[in-house]
Amino acid sequence: MTQLTVPTSNPTLEIPKKGMPVTIITGFLGSGKTTLLNQILKNKQDLKVAVLVNEFGDINIDSQLLISVDQDMVELTNGCICCTINDNLVDAVYRVLEREDRIDYLVIETTGVADPLPIILTFLGTELRDLINLDSILTVVDAEAFNQEHFHSEAALKQITYGDIILLNKTDLVTPEKLKDVENFIHDMKNGAKILHTKHGEVALPLILDVGLTPINEYTANDYQDTHEHEHHHHHGHHSHHLENDGFISISFQTDRPFDVHKFENFLTEKMPQNVFRAKGILWFSDSDLRHIFQLSGLRYSLHADEWQTPPKNQAVFIGRKLDISEIYSQLNECLA
């Protein structure tokens, strides 16, 4: 695929005035949503972009990893974006719209186990539809971690179904045969899917912003709205039904004590349950003055060191199916120095 770069001066990114454009980034756990978000913020040139990030878990790790977290970000409360967040989402969007310095573009990153339909309908089924322009749903897929078993998740399948653009990420980590298999699976699920290949979430912004791909008329049909009202009424105040169906839970671990790096790596490689899909954290090790950004997706994990911006402490989130919370807490406590 031809490598595209974002020109320094880009007239296609001068957003027309037809309501504030909104892009929703969705995708399964560890697919690279935050990396894509960082690419957008890094390459946005003169666009003023507001970002809403929703985190499944008690500790918001991603908000600490974003390149720009002050002017470009409004924090949302925790919980499933399907139910808990809907009222707060409307409030947060109004706060963006009411800012003195005008925002050109709004990007929303959903949690990796979210069904994107309720957030789409929040924009199209409330008074927000007259104030914003839902531009596209971007679904990030991890080409390396993708397999049939992985996608027994109802949420993961819906993310592809409702995606206007499928960003097939981490293409540098797979063979051409695997890439073709993944593409075929996506096309089987979504006929005519628009697929872009990416590495490290790098994609030319004119390909994903101000593209006008969301089929708004389809979502404003009565059957979508009725289904949403029914589900929201019956599941309000709880995790949405797809989380229960998929069996996902999130475990958050915080402590003001440092880890022993060898004990922690032994936990990752020898003791951690196989049904942990995704983990991330800001970690403090006893033998280092640096903070360590921890990312785990599937069997692969990385630790990236940089300077502490805050007093050192450990914060980590583990997301998976049918996890034994007390066992993981116990194992993590054993890793402390």
Whether 231 and 266 share a structural domain? no
pLDDT (tens, 9 = 90+) of the chain, 337 residues, equals 333 333 333 434 444 456 889 999 999 888 989 889 888 888 888 888 888 877 656 667 776 776 655 555 555 543 333 333 445 778 778 877 887 777 888 888 888 878 888 888 888 877 888 888 999 999 999 998 887 665 577 888 889 999 999 999 999 999 999 999 999 989 988 888 899 999 999 998 888 988 888 888 888 765 555 544 444 443 333 344 555 566 778 889 999 999 999 999 999 999 998 888 888 899 999 999 999 999 887 778 888 899 998 899 999 999 888 888 999 999 999 999 9
What is the CATH classification number for the domain harbouring 101? 3.40.50.300
Residue 220, domain member (yes or no)? yes
Residue 11, domain member (yes or no)? no
Whether 319 and 196 share a structural domain? no
Place of tokens 């060191």: 305
Residue 22, domain member (yes or no)? yes
State the amino acid at position 242 in one-letter form.
H
Residue 241, domain member (yes or no)? no
- Which residues, in sequence order, are CB contacts of 172 under 8 Å at separation 6+? 199
What is the CATH classification number for the domain harbouring 314? 3.30.1220.10
- Count of domains forming the chain: 2
Which of 235, 270, 304 is the last residue before a domain boundary? 235
pLDDT of residue 74: 52
pLDDT of residue 263: 95
Which of 194, 209, 235 is the last residue before a domain boundary? 235
Residue 62, domain member (yes or no)? yes
DSSP 103-163: PSEEEEE--TT--SHHHHHHHHSSGGGGTEEEEEEEEEEETTT--TTGGG-HHHHHHHHT-
Whether 275 and 173 share a structural domain? no
Residue 10, domain member (yes or no)? no
Range of the domain at 277: 248-334
Q: The whole model's pTM is what? A: 0.74
Among 94, 105, 101, smallest CA distance to 49 is for 105
In angstroms, the CA 101 to CA 98 distance is 9
pLDDT of residue 224: 56
Whether 167 and 265 share a structural domain? no
Whether 230 and 254 share a structural domain? no
pLDDT of residue 241: 52
In angstroms, the CA 174 to CA 78 distance is 34
